[in-house]
Amino acid sequence: MKSYPGTSHHYASVVVFSFLLLLCGCFLHPDYSIALPNGYKLSRIWKGAHTIVNERNFLVVGLTVQKYAVVGNIVTGYVSDENMADVPEALRGKTGYFVLDTATANLQDGLGEDKWRNVLELHNITSLPALKTPSRKDAKWF
Q: What are the residue ranges spanned by the domains of the chain?
A: 8-134
Q: How far apart are CA 16 and CA 9, in angstroms?
A: 11
Burial class (CB in 10 A: 0-12, 13-18, 19+), 25: middle
Local confidence pLDDT in tens for the 142 residues of the chain: 454 555 555 555 555 555 555 545 444 567 899 999 999 999 998 888 999 999 998 999 988 899 999 999 999 999 998 877 788 877 778 999 999 999 999 999 999 999 999 999 999 999 999 999 999 898 875 4
List b or e across 46-82, with b for residues whose CB sees 16 or more CB atoms inside 10 angstroms.
eeebbbbbbeebebbbbbbbbbbbbeeebbbbbbbbe
First to last CA, the chain: 47
Q: How far apart are CA 38 and CA 105, in angstroms?
A: 9
Q: How far apart are CA 109 and CA 129, in angstroms?
A: 16
Note the pTM of the prediction, 2 decimals: 0.77
